[in-house]
Amino acid sequence: MAHSLDLADPLAHARGRFRLPDGIVYADGNSLGALPAAAPAHLAHVVESEWGQGLIRSWNDAGWIDAPAQLGARIAPLIGAHADEVIVADSVSVNLFKLLAAGLTPRRRTIVTLAGDFPTDSYIAQGLANLLGNVTLREIPLADIVTALDDQTAILLLTHVHYQSGARHDMAALTAPAHAAGALTLWDLSHSAGAIAVDLNAANADLAVGCGYKFLNGGPGAPAWLFVARRHQKRLENPLSGWMGHARPFAFEPGYTPAPGMARWLAGTMPILALAALNAGLATFDGLAPAAIEAKAAALTTHFIDRVAHIPGITLATPRDPAARGAHVALAHDHAQPLTQALIAHRVIPDFRTPNLIRFGFAPLTSRFADVETAAATLAHLIETQAWTNPAYHQSRKVT
């Protein structure tokens, strides 16, 4: 069955845009995307020609100075944004700090977020609250999120796809009550962009952030990006007022004047080599429609869920409805950590999330239905043979 599904897959050709090791089932694309085949040569060109020969002239001649905006424009179609609403900069954590601080007002000083959401998001929000001293962070269960929104709420901060369960929020359905309460929405799309279709403007979203190293295939530690809807761009200001966000960065004026548009969200000098790697990652999406990418993610994850549903000791921790999940499937097992190590030893690479989850991330551009079946069959075999009892899989080590 997997063979026929792979033959019929309209995105099967996209796998050829990557370098993947032989004999490996890579089910961790939700943590680090695979290497784009064009990345090594592209990086070599930037290093040897643009840097080595062009030297400082390449800021202009090779367009380095414009790279954050140009790459933001390439991300925009994947998230339902206009090209002038997205810019590449810094990390997700730094961009969260910028947008959270910018969204506060003298009267509205409360940030509402989901209890148990991705830790760095709440860490940054709490750090901002501690720094300013008059900001409140409220971490609320999902069932109570809407009723928690009031006239003190400045921002509703949510990850679109939950990092553990893979559950997906209805963006429009949560943005509407936030606006009714007079609050902004800030969406973390780190587990969404490049894996499922996102339409920020259709949902009337205000702000968003996302990383470049997961489904966007930009390489380890790739630069992040942020979105600010056009209607907010003149009003909101970057609290990290670095020189690259200045209206005239090379005038070296004594006072700060924010640049117009998204350029104001830059801070320090941009990392050109990292941007070059991200450029190669984004090129892997050329000609691919977000709806087709989401359709394959749904088909892969459904196929996997069907194959693991009856494995003893396994509990599905991800919604069965494809519209209610992203591109990874979380399975609960009492011995999840040693099982993850056993899977890796058997050349199937998922990852572990405390306390008892194994996450299988099926990046739509690189994953095959044959990979899904191999992953499910290997998991079933390891559970049947009680592989977690092997002491080698209980050693203390970093889990991918």
Q: Which residues are catalytic?
A: 118, 188, 213-214, 359
Strand partners, 136: 110
Q: State the angle between helix axes of 369-384 and 290-308 in degrees (0 to 180), rounded to the nearest 10.
A: 20
The answer to whether the CB of 243 falls within 8 A of the CB of 249 is yes
Cis preceding-peptide flag for 355 (omega within 30 of 0)? yes
List Cα–Cα distances, 10 to 79, 362, 366, 397, in angstroms. 21, 16, 12, 39
Cα(1)–Cα(69) distance, integer angstroms? 44
Tell me the chain's radius of gyration from C-alpha atoms. Answer: 22
In the numeric block, the tokens 């549903």 are attached to 309
User: Quick one: which H or E segment has residue 139?
Assistant: strand 136-140
Residue from 380, 374, 364 nearest 15 by CA: 364
Q: Which two tokens stand for residue 350?
A: 């998922």
> Longest Cα pair distance anywhere in the chain, in angstroms?
69
**Helices of type H across the chain:** 2-8, 39-45, 58-61, 67-75, 92-103, 119-132, 145-148, 171-180, 272-283, 290-308, 336-345, 369-384
Contact 184, 206 (CB under 8 A): yes
| Encoded amino acid at 332, one letter | A
**In a 3-state reduction of DSSP, which class is residue 180?**
helix
Please say whether the beta carbons of 29 and 366 come within 8 A: yes
How are the residues of the chain apportioned to helix, strand and coil, as percentages rounded to the nearest 5? 45, 15, 40
Q: Hunting for tokens 């494809």 — which residue is that?
A: 322
